[in-house]
A and B are shown apart, each in its own frame.
Chain A
Amino acid sequence: MKNSIMIGLLLLGNILVAGDVKITEELESVVTQEGDKEIKIERIQDVKHRLTSNFSKTSRECPPFCVQPMKIGNVRTIGEIELLEHIKEMQKDDTEMLLIDARTRDWSHSGTIPGATNLPFAMLQKDSKYLNKILGLLGAKEGKNGKWNFDKVPTMIIFSNGLWDAQATKAIKSLVELGCPEDKILYYRGGMQSWNILGLTVK
């Protein structure tokens, strides 16, 4: 009898734990659409969960993996709440916003934020073979003077591995150098490191 009560209490404890790990007090999850698939972004519900991936590392060789500044020119830096709000907005039909994972393909393939498109930072460099094609796809128009007009380009939220990774910083700097207005870019500095540490859904 005593044992049954103990087991019952333990089970109840687990039920109470499940669903308790919210994003904010009011927000449990955000749903994003990828093709015809819905992906629910939420936090890992196991309160005992620990990171064991490479995002549990504290130290990496710098260069290349150096701590990134909070501000890149006048580009607005955002955190997870703002990013999730934007991901929610992106589901609306008329929202012109694009979430860009600026890391190299191997990084991106090992796990990214649902709804993100991989566009490695090096492909936005001036000497990139595909730059014109990429800018064209984004909606930029090249003027007769060789300058690009970014009026029709969606707002881009750019991220990479996070605080210690310059890939997003480089992508942002390249876009600004090409003439992209800074208010068309948002920088999610926390990147995959912060996303993972919060146990948010990774695709």
Chain B
Amino acid sequence: MKKITVLLLVGLSSLWAKSDLMSGLTDIVDRVEEQKAEDKKVLNYAFKQRMRTQWMSRDALLIFMDFNSSFYQKEIVINADLFNKNFNNLINSKEDIKKAEKRDPNFAKKIEEVKKIWLTFYDSVNKISKDSKDKNALSFIVKNNMELLDSIAYIFTNFIESYQSTDKLEASMAHIKSMLYTQVGKPRMYINKLVKERLLIAQDINVKDNQNSFNQSVKDMDRLMKALKDGDKELELHGTEDKKILEKLSISQKIWEEVKALGNKKSLNKKEWLKLIEKNEEFIKAQTEVVKLTRVSNDN
């Protein structure tokens, strides 16, 4: 009887030790994963900030052209405030800046430059939200939105890369994912950009350059949408076989074709403009679904 009890106790303590070990390891991995989830938020901000630069610029033009101005005057402020909040969160993190400075010693200086553009941009957005006919505000937004887009992309790329693991295999696997996440979110930026370019053409602003940019945006968008489905070596995309993603991509593609057909028309009446804007918004929603599914899929 005594022997059985001792054996049972040894057995139980061994079982406990094993489950303690397993849960102990799980706890540590959980802690590391929590940190990684925080890092991923930065990545997520990056994609949205990029899209917001074009969104604000498009909305500024819509307000100026009197397309549902009161609605877009509210929308533009919402986007600007979110941009401002995320931007400040990032540039106020000294630890993150130090990390990024290891890769680029001029990083802090670059942030100051971007901050300067952003503050005037933010001010211009607020002005146009109050006075739809403020030409100076619109002019600043039109002239500086692409620089803001490029600068913000540069800043976030640096942050993202500074988060990467020092381990070659882990960094390489993370790179494949971050390329996919970057590209899958990009059509949302492109759609705002090309609608903005189409609006600029309609306003007779720098028509030749904007027409060229518009044509290029259409080409980039066509290529990217195909690449997300079928892959593209240069864009570092492998395409997908995930049925759910393919289904959502086909919805985005259909909306994109409608946007393209409208955008390519020589001139648009008010009804068509409104449809173009409506499709622009629809596309962003549809592509956001693709982004969400891609993040949970492991289709490597």
Contact = CB atoms under 8 A, between A and B. Distances in A.
B29 interface: yes
B22 interface: yes
Contacts of A64: 169, 172-173, 176
In the A-B complex, the 3 residue pairs with the smallest Cβ-Cβ separation, listed nearest first, are: A93-B11, A64-B172, A137-B24
Given A60-B300, A63-B168, A130-B32, 9 more contacts: A35-B19, A54-B300, A57-B241, A64-B173, A104-B170, A117-B21, A117-B22, A122-B170, A123-B28
Contacts of B173: 64, 104
A121 interface: yes
A57 to B, nearest CB: 8
Interface in B157-216: 165-170, 172-173, 176
A105 interface: yes
Nearest to A117: B22
Interface string A93-115: 11010100000111100100000
Interface in A117-168: 117-123, 125, 127, 130, 133-134, 137-139, 154, 166-167
Nearest to B30: A105
Interface in B4-45: 10-12, 14-15, 18-19, 21-22, 24-26, 28-29, 31-33, 36
23 contacts: A54-B298, A61-B176, A63-B168, A63-B169, A63-B172, A93-B10, A93-B15, A94-B10, A98-B18, A106-B298, A110-B298, A117-B22, A119-B25, A119-B29, A120-B29, A122-B165, A122-B167, A123-B29, A137-B21, A137-B28, A154-B18, A154-B21, A170-B169
Given A60-B300, A98-B21, A107-B298, A133 B28 contact: yes
Interface of chain B: mostly helix, strand, loop or mixed? helix
A109 B33 CA distance: 12
Interface string A173-190: 000000000000000000
Given A54-B300, A61-B238, A118 B176 contact: no
A123 B165 CA distance: 11
Interface residues of A, number: 36
A125 B14 CA distance: 28
Contacts of B172: 63-64
A35 B15 CA distance: 10
B150 interface: no
Interface of chain A: mostly helix, strand, loop or mixed? loop
A118 B26 contact: yes
